[in-house]
Amino acid sequence: MLTTATFTAPKQLADTLLALTETHPEITLDVGEIVPNSLPTYSSHFTYTLWLPAELQPAAVATAGQPLNFKEVDASIDYVAQTKALFPPLLIGPYFIARNNEATPAGKIGLCIAPNRAFGSGEHATTTGCLLGYEWLLSQGHTYKSCLDFGAGSGLLAIAAAKRQGTRGLCLDNDHPSVDICAENAALNGVADLITSEWADTPPAQAFPLIFANILLHPLLELATPLVQTLAPTPGSALILSGFTEEQGPELEARYRSLGLTKQWQHAQGGWLAQVWMRG
Ligand SMILES: C[S@@+](CC[C@H](N)C(=O)[O-])C[C@H]1O[C@@H](n2cnc3c(N)ncnc32)[C@H](O)[C@@H]1O
């Protein structure tokens, strides 16, 4: 009998659960990127769904480290189709984000990003805000030869810039699986030659004219000085910040203003903010 259970747990559990599916190939794992309605902790928890034969339930419970509510799978239901329907393509500005390999409509820039272990399949308000902030910068006549995607997750933002204007991107993340997934996404989107994906937990020494940093409030505050130092001192250089809520906005803004930056643009969606900052 095939059974399924959905539960939430810290994102660190993903690696342990993936190891379980390697030991037991009969187990299928689906990792959702956000626990709905948990704004302050969204990036530290995932939603996990397991599909497994009933006899493997004890192994799953032991690995999950919590009781699981198993349900019998109804064989008459097409779960693959249902799961795909949960991830329809997204249209954000000029971007068509295909999460199930859908064909890109004429006139759109196709990004192929499957929902995955790495954050950033496009549906979160912060990712949308960063893409719209980048589009706003382009609408102001700025162009960027290179960018830093700090906290790249899936790499969607740097991949978007690579496809949009051939921008070379350095993607950094402190989550090892995300580093690999980002590189895979770059290849899948035909921009592997433009994207470098590496592990790091602090900004690099090299300066960039465009920086995306969609991380949480606290790392944005802690890393404000090195992030601003990483921003090239050239006209048009911009730091796109997101991952903080409207409530947290004033604290974030005071910090970046104190470092000599000025807020140029803002997008608010679902309680989340994305902002574009420039020198001066
Ligand atoms: C909200 S996700 C953003 C993903 C993608 N850039 C987007 O906009 O959809 C934040 C990412 O930042 C990474 N991260 C958080 N703190 C970090 C740090 N100090 N150094 C590097 N990466 C970090 C997380 O692992 C996660 O992949």
How far is it, in rounded angstroms, from Cα 197 to Cα 156?
A: 12
Note the CATH number of domain 2-85. Answer: 3.30.70
CATH superfamily, domain 128-279, is: Vaccinia Virus protein VP39 (3.40.50.150)
| Lowest mean per-residue pLDDT among 8-22, 28-42, 69-83, 143-157 | 28-42
Residue 245 reports pLDDT greater than 60:
yes
Q: What is the mean pLDDT of residues 129-134?
A: 97
Task: Give distance in angstroms: CA of 83 to centre of ligand 1.
Answer: 25
Q: Regarding predicted confidence, which is higher, 41 or 86?
A: 86
Q: In sequence order, what are the residues at sequence separation of 6 or more whose Cβ sits closer than 8 angstroms to the Cβ of residue 181? A: 116, 117, 118, 154, 155
Entry pTM = 0.80
Q: What is the mean pLDDT of residues 212-229?
A: 96
Give the pLDDT band (50/70/90) at residue 177: confident
Q: What is the mean pLDDT of the chain?
A: 90
Buried (b) or exposed (e) across 21-53, using 16+ Cβ within 10 A? Answer: beeeeebebbbbbbbeeebeebbebbebebbbe
Report the nearest atom of ligand 1 relative to the CA of 118.
27
Residue 63 reports pLDDT greater than 70:
yes
Distance of CA 109 to the CA centre of its chain: 18
State which of 43, 159, 267 you would mutate to test the pocket of ligand 1, scoring each by most atoms of that ligand within 8 A of its C-beta. 43
Strand, coil or helix: what is 67? coil
pLDDT attached to residue 41: 43
State which of 97, 175, 178, 179 you would mutate to test the pocket of ligand 1, scoring each by most atoms of that ligand within 8 A of its C-beta. 175
pLDDT attached to residue 36: 44
| Boundaries of every domain in the chain | 2-85, 128-279
Give the pLDDT band (50/70/90) at residue 37: very low
pLDDT attached to residue 34: 55
pLDDT attached to residue 190: 97
Q: Which residues line ligand 1 (CB under 6 A)?
A: 43, 119-120, 126-127, 130, 149, 151-153, 156-157, 172-175, 178, 200-201, 214-215, 219, 243
How far is it, in rounded angstroms, from Cα 58 to Cα 67?
A: 10
| Residue 145 half-sphere exposure toward CB, CA atoms < 13 A | 3
Task: Give distance in angstroms: CA of 214 to centre of ligand 1.
Answer: 6
pLDDT attached to residue 33: 59
Residue 43 reports pLDDT greater than 60:
no
Report the nearest atom of ligand 1 relative to the CA of 120.
9
Q: In sequence order, what are the residues at sequence separation of 6 or more whose Cβ sits closer than 8 angstroms to the Cβ of residue 33? A: 46, 47, 115, 118, 119, 120, 121, 124
Residue 6 reports pLDDT greater than 80:
yes
Q: Regarding predicted confidence, which is higher, 172 or 102?
A: 172
Residue 133 reports pLDDT greater than 60:
yes
Both structure tokens of 247: 């409530």
